[in-house]
Amino acid sequence: AQSVTQPDIHITVSEGASLELRCNYSYGATPYLFWYVQSPGQGLQLLLKYFSGDTLVQGIKGFEAEFKRSQSSFNLRKPSVHWSDAAEYFCAVAFADNDMRFGAGTRLTVKP
Amino acid sequence: DGGITQSPKYLFRKEGQNVTLSCEQNLNHDAMYWYRQDPGQGLRLIYYSQIVNDFQKGDIAEGYSVSREKKESFPLTVTSAQKNPTAFYLCASKRNEKLFFGSGTQLSVL
Question: Smallest CA–CA separation between A9 and chain B, in Å?
Answer: 7
- pLDDT tens, position by position, A60-99: 999 999 999 999 999 999 999 999 999 999 999 998 888 9
Q: Which residues contact B86 (CB under 8 A, 6 or more apart)?
A: B107, B108, B109
In whole numbers, what is the pLDDT of chain A averaged over residues?
94
B106 inside 8 A of chain A by CB: no
Give the per-residue pLDDT at A43.
Answer: 87
A9: enclosing H helix or E strand: none
B75: enclosing H helix or E strand: none
- pLDDT tens, position by position, B20-53: 999 999 999 999 999 999 988 889 999 999 999 9
Note whether B40 and B88 are within 8 A (CB).
Answer: no
- pLDDT tens, position by position, A25-70: 999 888 999 999 999 888 899 999 999 999 999 999 999 999 999 9
Give the per-residue pLDDT at B76.
Answer: 98
A8 contact residues in B (CB cutoff 8 A): none
Q: What is the DSSP string of A14-71?
A: ETTS-EEE--EEE-SS--EEEEEEE-TT--EEEEEEE-SS-SEEE-GGG-EEEEEGGG
B42 contact residues in A (CB cutoff 8 A): 6, 90, 102-105
B54 inside 8 A of chain A by CB: no
Amino acid occupying residue A17: A
At B11, give phi and psi (nearest 5°).
Answer: -145, 140
Q: Where does the pLDDT of residue B1 fall: very low under 50, low under 70, confident under 90, or very high at 90 and above?
A: low
B40 inside 8 A of chain A by CB: yes
- pLDDT tens, position by position, B55-109: 999 999 999 999 999 999 999 999 999 989 999 999 999 998 889 999 999 999 8
Q: Which residue of A has its CA nearest to B54?
A: A97
Q: Where does the pLDDT of residue B110 fall: very low under 50, low under 70, confident under 90, or very high at 90 and above?
A: confident
